[in-house]
A = this chain, B = another copy of it.
Amino acid sequence: MSEYLPGLAGVPATKSNISNIDGEKGILSYRGYPIEELAKNSTFEETCLLLLDGRLPTAAELSDFDEQLRDNRQVKYHIRNLMKTLPESGHPMEMLQTAVACLGMFYPGNECLTGADSCQDLDYIHNMTVKIIARMGTFVAMWEHIRNGYDPILPRHDLPYAENFLYMLNGKEPDPLLARIMDVCLILHAEHTINASTFSVLVNGSTLASPMSVIAAAIAALSGPLHGGANQKVLEMLKEIGTPDRAAAYVDKKLANKEVIWGMGHREYKTKDPRAKILQGLMAEFMADRGGNLNPMFEVAKEVEKVCEDRLAKKGVYANVDFYSGLLYSEMGIPADQFTAIFAIARSAGWLAHWREQLSDNRIFRPTQMYTGEPVRKYVPINKR
């Protein structure tokens, strides 16, 4: 038996072509393309296709895929009615898990995945992938209205993914800078090698469950506070600090108590998270665009970052992607408990790329355990216990 490593830390669970992290140099690449180049030149739609197919699409392929996504934005009224049965106070991630899980009942067909050699019905895989990615944004935006007692805003066919998402959320077309920031946020969150939720895709997908079941399960993993919930926590932390002058005392107290400072540091990077650098640039652009007219949390965030850099940069701990994304989403008028759901919209692309890769060389996950329990013993009748 191999060595037992808690959390399987460092244990290779798969071979993968999809993304790679060079933690020393601070490079994240999707299919070989550094995240900086994708953030600068690509769109979420193109990045999805890159992750799924393994190469940058031609103009015709991209336009075709984009059209498929637009055609699949609408959600059946049955699912709208389902959402209306859910409690308004429920967490958006649990709504999203529920909505994606039920989607599989409307689009069956995973029987085509039976058997090791016939796992590659690429038409089915592609069609289901489009159905899921296209609807993720609609689900999240719908819920924002339904939980507040309003009818959801129908998707528009004439807008790109990020722009349509903000339109469905706010009922008006976003200004171009905010639409671009959202598009970049989706690109940056689309994929990040094998973390708990992507690993969940491999494990659940390896039983040949339906893709909707598999993605709904990954949403469960991402919903956990140790995984996807950090950008929501950042905003809660900034609100708790309240004013810039209280930042230093807050940070020092947390450090003294060895408590988490949300949005700081990342296990995979020894340098600054490359995604954080990109968002920092967009935030500066956004601040310049707005002039002084900014949410007071921005000033608190700047101060927290400055204090943390002073205390932690020498240990290789810097602000990460969650630190900035939460702030930016907040400025777009998005409630903090929706941040992880937006993360899930983006990550559905990476999850589905890993699902497809898993099926291309499938083996069911069945690790083993170190049994540390009682040896075989005799049953004791209830009156003798």
Contacts and interface: CB of A to CB of B under 8 A. Distances in A.
Interface of A: 1-20, 27, 29, 31-34, 37-38, 40-42, 46, 54, 56-59, 62, 78-79, 81-82, 85-87, 89-91, 93-95, 97-98, 101-102, 104-106, 108, 110-111, 113-114, 193-197, 199-200, 203-204, 206-210, 212-214, 216-228, 267, 361, 363-383, 385
A368 to B, nearest CB: 5
B81 A108 contact: no
A89 B105 CA distance: 7
A366 B222 contact: no
A380 B34 contact: no
A203 B375 CA distance: 27
A58 B10 CA distance: 43
8 contacts: A1-B10, A7-B366, A29-B376, A91-B108, A194-B367, A196-B203, A207-B222, A217-B221
B105 A14 contact: no
Contacts of A196: 203-204, 206-207, 364-366
Contact of A207 (B207, B209, B225): B225
Most buried by B among A9, A41, A95, A371: A371
A209 B203 contact: no
A367 B226 contact: no
B11 A11 contact: yes
A196 to B, nearest CB: 5
B11 A8 contact: yes
Contacts of A370: 12, 14-16
B108 A13 contact: no
Contact of A32 (B222, B368, B374): B374
Contact of A90 (B6, B17, B106, B218): B106
Contacts of A86: 78, 82, 102, 105
A352 B42 CA distance: 44
A183 to B, nearest CB: 16
Given A86-B78, A105-B95, A217-B216, A369 B12 contact: yes
B101 A87 contact: no
A221 B194 contact: no
A370 B17 CA distance: 9
Contacts of A220: 101, 204, 209, 213-214, 216-217
Most buried by B among A113, A199, A204, A379: A204
B8 A366 contact: yes
B15 A267 contact: no
Given A13-B369, A114-B225, A204-B220, 9 more contacts: A9-B368, A10-B368, A13-B368, A20-B371, A56-B385, A90-B102, A97-B216, A101-B220, A193-B371
Most buried by B among A5, A59, A200, A381: A200
A233 to B, nearest CB: 10
A28 to B, nearest CB: 10
Given A12-B2, A194-B366, A376-B34, A94 B90 contact: no
Closest 9 CB pairs of A and B: A207-B224, A90-B105, A32-B374, A17-B373, A217-B217, A213-B220, A13-B367, A209-B224, A7-B363
B90 A7 contact: no
A193 to B, nearest CB: 6
Nearest to A212: B94
